[in-house]
Structure 1
Amino acid sequence: METANFTAVTSNMSSSAAGHTPHLAWVSTGLVPAVLLSFCFLLGVTGNIAVIILRPNWQHLSSQSQSLMLNLAVSDLFCLLPLPVWIYAHLYSWTFGLVACKLVTFLIYCCIYSSLQTVTAMSVLRYLLVVQLQQRCFQLVGMKRLLVLLWLVAMILSIPVLVVRQLTTVQQQIYCQDNYSSDAQQLAVLLTETIVGISSLTVVALAYLCLHRKVNQAALFNNPQTTKPITSIIVTFVVLWVPYITTDLLAVAAVSLKNEGLLKFCSYAWKITGAVTFVNSCVNPLLYAFTSHNINTMCQKTKQLFQKLRFPQIPSRSPGITMDTGQ
């Protein structure tokens, strides 16, 4: 993700900020993103700490679901903890040095990638629970190996941040932002983020839509208790991530076509859409940790119903008939 890139301010944007309309000036000075990030920090840190400590209704969940939800809460928490640093950088300047610029951004990227992959894994897990493939799949992979692989992939995807993040001085203001050596490098980073984002969005949407269809097929009618949580998960994920992914796609087009105007627009848009993605880390406890018991119970009942429909029990015969051999 280039989620942390909302702190970047190009020299052209900064030098002409005074000539922009008021709402663009607010964005360029970082006021709107700072307010949004402050809200995310206060609500998200509290919510994820509550999930880690309280673990609501987890006693009825499988060990796989508990491990994924704990990993999701940890990822979201560590993603939100550095936000005060970015809020200060939005309102003033980056005064923490190059090493902190790279490491803090790397941490945020790792946690965002980990959170995305965990949400994707949870959606697949719930679908596999209904189609009775959960135990077989996780016996082959193993939950500990899956979590290690998940974090390893997240760190590998975040490596470009260590290369492109630099300190830039504009009108005596220091910014921690991406500094690409070439258009090819910028395209490579943008395409990686876009592909990961679209892949996660597609898998989550398809998994929950298939789960919804399976549940309704088993129940033989639409159940609002099953429709609402699944719909809220899909809609929230789409609403919070599609704007950022769309901005990435526009940036790919801008770099490919060398359109400076479109790229400048993307620089403004990243400030808002990047901050919005942090809202996902705030609502995850409500969407997953505090509703997982209801959704998993629904999946278990659907699985049991499918087993009964597919494997009906043969009624036993009375002893007199079974012992009748014709003698």
Structure 2
Amino acid sequence: MTNATFNTTAQPGALPPLPGAKLGLTVLSLAFILGFPGNIFVVWSALWRVQKRTITCLLILHLALADCAVLLTSPFFLRLLSAGKWEFGSVVCQLCHYVCGVSMYASISLITLMSLDRCLAVTKPFISQKIRTAMVVRSLVLAIWMVSFLLAVPVIFYRKLVLRGRHLLCDLSHPTIGHLVFHNLFETLTGFVLPFAAIIWSYCVIGRRLQETRFRRKRRTNRLIVLIVAAFALFWLPFHVVNILDVVGALSHSKGLIVAGKMARPTLTALAFFSSSVNPILYAFTGGALIKSAGIGFMAKLFEGTASEMSSTRIGTGRTIQRREEAKLEMVQDGNPESITLSTNPLE
């Protein structure tokens, strides 16, 4: 994750070494305490309790693995915030931030794939049923991880140990303003703007399709995915806003924007960490009604339930289309000359 500054020259007394450290410690500690056990429980449920692993379950499993990976770096950052300096060397510095970068890209890519999967299931149910196989999804998940490893590579080149005052910090060191602009914009565009554009498009299409078919039953899976998307946006949007502020500040040479970014970033970075801990809470909230009947296995029941919901979505949408086609055919057979012009929608 980015802690972007262009000027890495030590300026004693200009700013506190780690502004917002106390709040960052609180948020990051809470994220680790809640998130790590929660995500381990999700992984355990998906691997050993689910009898029939659905596509959504597989994506949630990998999302939990990505969250676990980033939360494993929390102790290093907690020590950084409490001591006010980095004590673990250059390699660990680069590795921790690289893991965070990979997790960010993998998480948003998996969430985007969930949204596109729902879109395909609602708008093209028969095509979805044919291509929505375990082999296809595993290939897509593998591709997501490989692309995430590549997209996070810039963190390694820009992350270095930097002397600030009397202490070393694991910070970004951009040799020029151009490098800072490229890195921040690249991270925000690929890690937030473009994926969320695809997500918003998917749900616009889903909403329009459900209005056309009048298939409006509330689905637990739909609600769960929407909550996951909303939580990621809530916790990551401020982080990327600061990325843009850093770019604007560097290009305009505005000390006020640069200082504001410095002051806000530690807390917002900890808030972004918290996004990795909130998903198990969302699963518990969505599947809360299953706790009484399934006990500790409620998470597995929630994941297994996504299969029947996906099937019923395809069946429900498919039957609506089939009924419309049968109605048109009956009108043609009855000799109604207006029947041919009833619809020009290729989805109907």
Structure 1 counterpart of 2:120? 128
Post-superposition shift, 1:256? Answer: 2.0
Per-residue deviation, residues 14-47 of structure 1 (Å, max 9, x unmatched)? 62346xxxxxx9x615111111001011111011
Post-superposition shift, 1:297? Answer: 4.1
* C-alpha spacing 1:227/1:117, structure 2 compared with 1 (3 Å): closer
Structure 2 counterpart of 1:38? 29
Structure 2 counterpart of 1:165? 159
* C-alpha spacing 1:314/1:246, structure 2 compared with 1 (3 Å): closer
Structure 1 counterpart of 2:109? 117
Per-residue deviation, residues 251-290 of structure 1 (Å, max 9, x unmatched)? 2222222222212211222212221111211122344585
Contact kept? 1:8, 1:175, Cα under 8 Å: no
- DSSP-derived class of the 1:94 partner: coil
* C-alpha spacing 1:159/1:82, structure 2 compared with 1 (3 Å): same
* C-alpha spacing 1:287/1:294, structure 2 compared with 1 (3 Å): farther
* C-alpha spacing 1:265/1:141, structure 2 compared with 1 (3 Å): farther
Post-superposition shift, 1:250? Answer: 1.9
* C-alpha spacing 1:204/1:279, structure 2 compared with 1 (3 Å): farther
More deviation in 115-124 or 48-57?
48-57
- Rounded Cα–Cα distance in structure 2 between residues aligned with 1:72 and 1:36: 21
The question of 1:82 aligning with 2:76 is answered: no
Post-superposition shift, 1:149? Answer: 1.3
- Rounded Cα–Cα distance in structure 2 between residues aligned with 1:118 and 1:71: 8
Per-residue deviation, residues 141-199 of structure 1 (Å, max 9, x unmatched)? 82332222111111111111111111112222110000111111111101111112111
Contact kept? 2:111, 2:228, Cα under 8 Å: no
Structure 2 counterpart of 1:67? 58
| TM-score normalised by the chain length of structure 1 | 0.81
- Rounded Cα–Cα distance in structure 2 between residues aligned with 1:145 and 1:220: 31
Contact kept? 1:9, 1:28, Cα under 8 Å: no
Post-superposition shift, 1:230? Answer: 5.5
Q: What amino acid is the match of 2:80?
A: A
Structure 2 counterpart of 1:22? none
Contact kept? 2:57, 2:303, Cα under 8 Å: no
- Rounded Cα–Cα distance in structure 1 between residues aligned with 2:149 and 2:220: 38
The question of 1:305 aligning with 2:316 is answered: yes
**Structure 1, unaligned stretches of length 5 or more?**
19-24, 316-327
* C-alpha spacing 1:297/1:273, structure 2 compared with 1 (3 Å): farther
The count of corresponding residues between Structure 1 and Structure 2 is: 305
* C-alpha spacing 1:165/1:249, structure 2 compared with 1 (3 Å): same
- Rounded Cα–Cα distance in structure 2 between residues aligned with 1:171 and 1:239: 34
- Rounded Cα–Cα distance in structure 2 between residues aligned with 1:285 and 1:8: 37
- Rounded Cα–Cα distance in structure 2 between residues aligned with 1:95 and 1:244: 25
Contact kept? 1:7, 1:175, Cα under 8 Å: no
Contact kept? 1:9, 1:175, Cα under 8 Å: no
Contact kept? 1:78, 1:111, Cα under 8 Å: yes
Written as runs of structure 1 = structure 2, the 5 A alignment for 1:261-300 is 261-287=256-282, 290=299, 292=303, 297-300=308-311
Contact kept? 1:212, 1:226, Cα under 8 Å: no
Post-superposition shift, 1:221? Answer: 5.2
* C-alpha spacing 1:211/1:314, structure 2 compared with 1 (3 Å): closer
Q: What amino acid is the match of 2:230?
A: V
